[in-house]
């Protein structure tokens, strides 16, 4: 039997009527002759609420218990989706991660898949069930604890199941009708792309475009999963949405394909750090051990044997970072004059595979920001992207200005 994976995100299962709407889409595919694995997210807002409860209860929480709490949102929708399908005469059964069992690493709240054995679900399909509804975002560690895959992780569950079961396609149903040149909530000039290259999608996702979780794009690229993003609120067919595919399947030639932003960034600066071998390791080692995701790093030129070290990380890790830095200082790992935290910055990035062979994109980007009087605090570049940190209050303006500057509203 041909098999499809269909994933429904939080807004697509936000209430019982939306679950019904999603179930109707699943039923249509079953009627077309597919067995379907449905991956569901928690109802929209639920995971945020659960995370809030954990943080209120224990600011520096035990990650195992965080996962135990936040994984529960998906369990509810999986059961409700199976019930809704049954009411529509579609034989369906729900699966929590441990029942499959979805084996993951033990890295709580950012676990990775180890294996997804097919036997249990295949056996149910063989019994005549047409749909397996799997709770997204969660798995089981070797220690037997519930794990989660990081925010947005249901996308990755979907792609991993598509790879494990050799699905014909992995359809990600969400509240937009595809991948856009930038977040359509920020500018109405954002344009839907019919296709986007894996590499570009990977960068956009990792730089903040939350329409797909980064890891899901990585897996799709590695296992050659046909990955599509489409609307759960519209009628859709085989040509709807955006196909994430290999570079050579794309006709449009463009230098910049999209603009991404990440709102909740913080910039931390250690003033007056001794400029000697080993000091960067002494600073960033303890941060890594504390689970801080350090992103950009800038070291100033040295004056009289001292330097300043600046790095960025998500705002919700500032507390952890400060604790790790102060503990390292107390241990005598390194000395510094002062720690300055600016938790009001955002990261804006432009992405495009065309940048590999095209000079001048950085200059054009900086000029567009300068024209809006937006000050750049930190810059990083790689082969197909340029990122800057700016004051958060200019975030929307910066995205709009860059979208205009690179004329992303027009197809090339
Ligand atoms: P789901 O709950 O279905 O997983 P998400 O909220 O995680 O949905 O992702 C969809 C959202 O991603 C859209 O509503 C949109 O605001 C945002 N988004 C950010 N960047 C983009 C982009 N380039 N294209 C489309 N959507 C984007
Ligand atoms: N519910 C989880 C989250 O909001 C996982 C997901 O929806 O993909 O991050
Ligand atoms: Mg999502």
Residue 10 CA, closest ligand 1 atom number:
2
Determine the length of the chain: 412
Least distant ligand from the CA of 13: 1
Ligand closest to Cα of 173 equals 1
How many angstroms separate the CA atoms of 135 and 118, rounded? 15
From the CA of 262, how far away is ligand 3's center (Å)? 14
Q: What is the pLDDT of residue 250?
A: 85
pLDDT at 302 over 90: no
Q: Which atom of ligand 1 is nearest to the CA of 258?
A: 23
Asked if the model's pLDDT at residue 252 lies above 80, the reply is no
My answer on whether omega of the bond before 101 falls inside 30° of 0, hence cis, is yes
* Residue 151 Cβ < 6 Å to ligand 2: yes
CB 71 near ligand 2, within 6 Å: no
> Measuring CA to CA, which residue among 35, 239, 46 is closest to residue 135?
46
Q: Determine the pLDDT at residue 211.
A: 96
pLDDT tens for each residue of 137-194:
999 999 999 999 999 999 999 999 999 999 999 999 999 999 999 999 999 999 999 9
Report the percentage of the chain scoring pLDDT > 70: 100
List domains and CATH numbers for the chain: 3-175 (3.40.1160.10), 259-405 (3.30.2130.10)
Residues around ligand 3, an ion, CB closer than 5 A: 9, 152
Q: What is the pLDDT of residue 44?
A: 97
For the beta sheet containing 113-115, the strands, ordered from the edge strand earlier in sequence to the opposite edge, are 113-115, 103-104, 138-140, 146-148
Query: What are phi and psi for residue 113, nearest 5 degrees?
Result: -70, 140
Residue 1 has a pLDDT of: 85
For 306-354, write each residue's pLDDT tens digit.
Answer: 999 999 999 999 999 999 999 999 999 999 999 999 999 999 999 999 9
Residue 209 Cα to ligand 3 midpoint, Å, equals 10
Residues 178/192, Cβ–Cβ less than 8 Å: yes
Assign 411 a pLDDT band (cuts: 50, 70, 90).
confident
Task: Give, using CA atoms, the residue closest to atom 21 of ligand 1.
Answer: 183
């Amino acid at each position: 039997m041909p098999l499809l994976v269909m994933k429904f995100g939080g807004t697509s299962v936000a209430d019982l009527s939306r679950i019904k709407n999603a179930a109707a889409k699943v039923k249509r595919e079953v009627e077309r002759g597919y067995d379907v694995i449905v991956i569901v997210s928690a109802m929209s807002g639920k995971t945020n609420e659960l995370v809030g409860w954990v943080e209120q209860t224990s600011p520096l929480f035990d990650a195992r218990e965080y996962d135990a709490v936040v994984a529960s949102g998906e369990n509810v929708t999986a059961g409700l989706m199976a019930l809704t399908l049954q009411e529509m005469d579609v034989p369906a059964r729900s699966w929590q991660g441990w029942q499959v069992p979805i084996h993951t690493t033990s890295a709580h709240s950012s676990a990775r898949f180890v294996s997804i054995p097919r036997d249990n679900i295949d056996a149910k399909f063989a019994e005549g069930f047409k749909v397996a509804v799997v709770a997204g975002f969660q798995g089981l560690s070797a220690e037997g604890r519930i794990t989660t895959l990081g925010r947005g992780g249901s996308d990755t569950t979907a792609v991993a199941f598509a790879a494990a079961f050799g699905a014909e396609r992995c359809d990600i149903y969400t509240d937009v009708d595809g991948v856009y040149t930038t977040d359509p909530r920020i500018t109405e000039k954002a344009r839907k792309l019919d296709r986007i290259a894996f590499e570009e999608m990977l960068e956009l996702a990792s730089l903040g475009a939350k329409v797909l979780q980064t890891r899901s794009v990585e897996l799709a690229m590695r296992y050659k999963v046909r990955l599509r993003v489409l609307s759960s609120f519209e009628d859709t067919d085989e040509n709807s949405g955006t196909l994430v595919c290999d570079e050579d399947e794309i006709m449009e030639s463009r230098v910049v394909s999209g603009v991404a932003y990440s709102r909740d960034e913080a910039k931390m600066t250690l003033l007056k750090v001794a400029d000697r071998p080993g000091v960067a390791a002494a600073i960033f080692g303890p941060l890594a051990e504390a689970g801080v995701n350090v992103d950009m790093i800038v070291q100033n030129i040295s004056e009289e044997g001292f330097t300043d070290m600046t790095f960025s990380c998500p705002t919700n890790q500032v507390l952890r970072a400060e604790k790790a830095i102060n503990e390292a200082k107390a241990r005598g790992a390194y000395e510094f004059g002062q720690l300055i935290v600016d938790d009001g910055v955002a990261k804006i990035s432009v992405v495009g595979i065309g940048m590999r062979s095209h000079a001048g994109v950085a200059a054009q980007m900086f000029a567009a920001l300068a024209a809006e009087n937006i000050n750049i605090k930190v810059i990083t570049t790689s082969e197909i992207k340029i990122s800057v940190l700016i004051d958060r209050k200019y975030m929307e303006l910066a995205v709009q200005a860059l979208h205009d500057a690179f004329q992303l509203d027009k197809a090339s």
